[in-house]
Amino acid sequence: PPAGPGIRPEGNVMIWYCDAYNYSDHDRPLADPYNARSHELLDWWTRSAAHFDLWDYALYGGRTQGAFPDIQADAVAADARLFAARGIRRLFMETEYHEQAFYPLNYFLMSELYVDPNRDLGELIGIYCRVYGRAAGAMRRAIDFWRENERAHPPQSPANWRQRILGWRSADAYAKLLPLLKAAYAEADTPAAKARVAHAVSEASIDFARCLKSSGRTGAEYAAAKSDYLAFGAEAAAHLPVEPSRRKELPAVQRETLELMDLSFRDLPPELRKVPASELVCVDYHRFYANPGSKISADAGSETGHALVYSLGGEQKVEKGVVRCGVHDTETKTGQDFDLRLRAD
């Protein structure tokens, strides 16, 4: 809110507010004490402005942390009622498609509840489950189990939410969810319904594998989870309604996901060569993506002996071997610069 006592927008001022969700836990309503700061700001502005519209960002299930099952049904319903109670008549929710198995469920609920926040949530979930054909009942049981798991094991801090360190993403939880999803897959009666359930199985399987590996359980159970990720993922990619270009990319994306999970470290700097491999963790990986047609070629004049050649606006550009990069921490608002040295491999 603006500083100073008694400062309010005049009656002829329209407030276009952004954003209530970026720093809140999307699995809990804005009115939940956990989201107190976001709720406090929204509450002040809606009570103080005669004309108030909301522009926000639907960040449900992002690509950056890797897709995993996430159902915001209860938060969406509570927030729809909150918006109506605050007199918000116009809302613009910016998003992009996220490859998250329950993304369509979350947005179906938003589209219905934003129009009528008094609709019965359980009834709406039942209506949505028709997309699973004969597996509707089995998928409803899986969805209800995962909703309860999310409610019972929330993140312990805002930082944990931002980094998706979520108590409900656990090997024990996935060991219970996956049999429910596979039972639903067995009941699905059309290619489209099977693909939707396969998407959920694949996604749960890869996050199950992540949880297993983080706890050092890399035996047969880990291998089976990775295998299910590929097998069910291939079926989902073949039959889900996605862009043809994305459908073609998905098998390679899945293979790369598994490769990155089992990276080994080579060419370590001298100060790390005596550190046991078990103590080394890959926290991220980086690539330089340039325009189509770019290539790395030999260049005797560069520091590393290689250069990146690409086109930009019809003009040929050359990067001489060292690319300046940086990592930005959105929590602490700090960054660290580093160099990428190009190699042909």
For the stretch 161-187, pLDDT in tens is 777 788 999 999 999 999 999 999 999
* Residue 75 one-letter amino acid: A
Mean predicted confidence (pLDDT) in 133-157: 95
- Give the model's confidence band at 27: pLDDT under 50 very low, under 70 low, under 90 confident, else very high: confident
Helices (H) and strands (E) in the chain, counts: 10, 8
Report the side by side order of strands in the sheet with 306-312. Answer: 295-298, 306-312, 315-319
Secondary structure percentages of the chain, helix, strand, coil, to 5: 45, 15, 40
Task: Give the span between the Cα atoms of 67 and 264, in whole angstroms.
Answer: 23
Most confident of 42-51, 221-230, 309-318: 221-230
Q: Distance (Å, rounded) from C-alpha 90 to C-alpha 82?
A: 13
What confidence score (pLDDT) does residue 65 get?
47
Kind of pairing, strands 91-94 and 295-298? unpaired
Q: If you compute the radius of gyration of the chain from its CA atoms, what whole number of angstroms results? A: 24
Taking alpha carbons only, the member of 246, 198, 210 closest to residue 96 is: 246
Contact between 93 and 83 under an 8 Å Cβ cutoff? The reply is no
Whole-number mean pLDDT of the chain?
83
Query: Looking at residue 116, what is its pLDDT?
Result: 96
Q: How far apart are CA 41 and CA 162, in angstroms?
A: 19
Name the band, by pLDDT with cuts 50, 70 and 90, for residue 339.
low
What are the DSSP E strand ranges found in the chain? 14-17, 51-57, 91-94, 295-298, 306-312, 315-319, 322-329, 334-341
Q: Say what the pLDDT of residue 64 is.
A: 43
Is the confidence at residue 205, as pLDDT, over 70? yes
Structure tokens at 185: 């897959």
* Both structure tokens of 36: 């107190």
- What pLDDT is recorded for position 257? 84
For residue 96, the model assigns a pLDDT of: 63
Q: What is the mean pLDDT of residues 29-41?
A: 91
Q: Helix or strand or coil: residue 315? A: strand
Q: Which helix (H) or strand (E) holds 279?
A: none
